[in-house]
Amino acid sequence: MIKNDLYLRALKGETVERPPVWMMRQAGRYLPEFMEIRKEYDFFTRCQTPELASEITVQPIRRFPLDAAILFSDILVVPQAMGIDFKMKENTGPWLDDPIRTAEQVQNVIVPDVNDTLGYVFDAIELTLEKLDNEIPLIGFAGSPWTILCYCVEGKGSKAFDIAKSFCFQQLEAAHQLLQKITDTTIAYLKRKVEKGVSAVQIFDSWGGMLSPEDYQEFSWKYIDQIVEALSPLTHVVVFGKGCWFALEEMSRSKVSALGVDWTVSPEFARKTTGGKMTLQGNFDPARLHSSPETIRKMVHEMINRFGKDQYIVNLGHGILPNIPVENAEAFIRAVTEWKG
Ligand code: CP3
């Protein structure tokens, strides 16, 4: 059905000619055509308008020989649907006028009908699939409950998410209530994405690495695992936990199809801690795309040789940075398509 199914074959652990490649945040500010649309429409308008979201999704696909597309959207559309009024502020990022800091506020957070509140995402999937014309798979995504809680409580981005952590440690019950509401909404949301035709879903736990291994179990993994359990009978589930090297072994015992790793982990460590049989995704340092195209090419080939071509998806270790030259992003992708074992 899908003409280039390298990404899906890697998720199944099948033998491939070369590993597939895509980049986290591949539809983003390093692309001049993205910046053109960005001049005209604010961030959540781009997310909420299916024609714009699908157009932005396919922009990098027109330019580069990528093996998967990821729907342009944001993890924060889920808390928005739950009645939490996120804005995207220029030069600040995600912003809440009224962050969630009390049990009463948690009580007021709703678990919505996703068809009523997030219909625009499902419409964007439909339009995107038309544009992709079965060439490559489309990935759907959501934030992890813990990472979403971080933004809901902190009210903005943060280096350490201290306020979010102290909320969890001081108001245990409210924290778990909020995490469960986010989990329930996310499960319904991702199930609907699968019904609409995405080929895999990825959970972004961008701030899991802020927690100790014990707290990670209690506040993050416990909820991610509910999502994995609910979705894995329906589709491939990939979990990317930034800074979560300490949890890789536990994660590898779950029903995920693949695990994402960041660049602070060596391929050998990642292979060893996940038992050598798990499909892994990553982990080029996004800042390394500032190296010359020749160096990028050499480093990507080394990375593939160290991870091994099978059970491996080439990616960055986190999202692409806005100031990366387009030709360097292209060198990264072409290094994979030109790799010879
Ligand atoms: O990967 C893709 O191409 C799909 C698109 C995607 C976006 N956000 C678009 C976006 C994905 C997968 C996300 C996920 C997301 N959003 C995460 C998890 C992944 C990660 O990077 O850790 C997080 C933590 C968010 C919340 C969020 N949205 C932040 C922290 C920011 C950056 C704010 C800033 O000004 O730098 C955003 C905005 C955002 N989401 C942009 C894009 C392309 C850039 C802002 C813009 O285009 O105006």
**Cβ of residue 140 lying under 6 Å from some atom of ligand 1:** no
Q: Looking at the domain assignment, is residue 1 inside a domain?
A: no
**Cβ of residue 25 lying under 6 Å from some atom of ligand 1:** yes
Provide the pLDDT for residue 277. 87
Provide the pLDDT for residue 341. 84
**Cβ of residue 70 lying under 6 Å from some atom of ligand 1:** yes
Assign residue 144 the CATH number of its domain. 3.20.20.210
Provide the pLDDT for residue 70. 98
Let me know if 62 is a catalytic residue. no
Let me know if 38 is a catalytic residue. yes
**Cβ of residue 48 lying under 6 Å from some atom of ligand 1:** no
Whole domain around residue 122: which residue ranges? 6-337
Q: What is the dihedral of CA 259, 262, 267, 271, to 10 degrees?
A: -30
Q: What parts of the chain have a pLDDT lower than 70?
A: none
Testing ligand 1's pocket by substitution, the residue of 75, 149, 151, 320 carrying the most ligand atoms inside 8 A of its CB is: 75
Residue 257: which of 5, 11, 10 has the closest Cα?
11
pLDDT digits (tens, 9 = 90+) for 102-122: 999 999 999 999 999 999 999
Task: Compute the distance from residue 217 Cα to the ligand 1 centre, in Å.
Answer: 25
Task: Compute the distance from residue 14 Cα to the ligand 1 centre, in Å.
Answer: 31
∠ CA 276-256-120, nearest 5°, is 145
Provide the pLDDT for residue 73. 98
How far apart are alpha carbons 264 and 185 in whole angstroms?
Answer: 32
Q: Looking at the domain assignment, is residue 320 inside a domain?
A: yes
Give Cα 31 distance to the centre of its chain.
Answer: 19
**Cβ of residue 38 lying under 6 Å from some atom of ligand 1:** yes
Q: Whose Cα sits closest to atom 46 in ligand 1?
A: 43
**Cβ of residue 206 lying under 6 Å from some atom of ligand 1:** yes
| Number of domains, the chain | 1
Provide the pLDDT for residue 239. 98
Task: Compute the distance from residue 24 Cα to the ligand 1 centre, in Å.
Answer: 9
Task: Compute the distance from residue 25 Cα to the ligand 1 centre, in Å.
Answer: 7
Q: Looking at the domain assignment, is residue 74 inside a domain?
A: yes
Cβ neighbours of 264 (radius 10 Å): 13
Let me know if 29 is a catalytic residue. yes
Task: Compute the distance from residue 141 Cα to the ligand 1 centre, in Å.
Answer: 12
pLDDT digits (tens, 9 = 90+) for 166-219: 999 999 999 999 999 999 999 999 999 999 999 999 999 999 999 999 999 999
CA dihedral sign of residues 292, 294, 300, 305: negative
How far apart are alpha carbons 190 and 121 in whole angstroms?
Answer: 11
Provide the pLDDT for residue 326. 98
pLDDT exceeding 70 applies to what percent of the chain?
Answer: 100
Q: pTM above the 0.85 mark?
A: yes
Testing ligand 1's pocket by substitution, the residue of 25, 204, 263 carrying the most ligand atoms inside 8 A of its CB is: 25
What Cα–Cα distance (Å) separates residue 116 from each residue in 75, 135, 157, 227, 231? 18, 30, 28, 21, 21
How far apart are alpha carbons 3 and 6 in whole angstroms?
Answer: 9
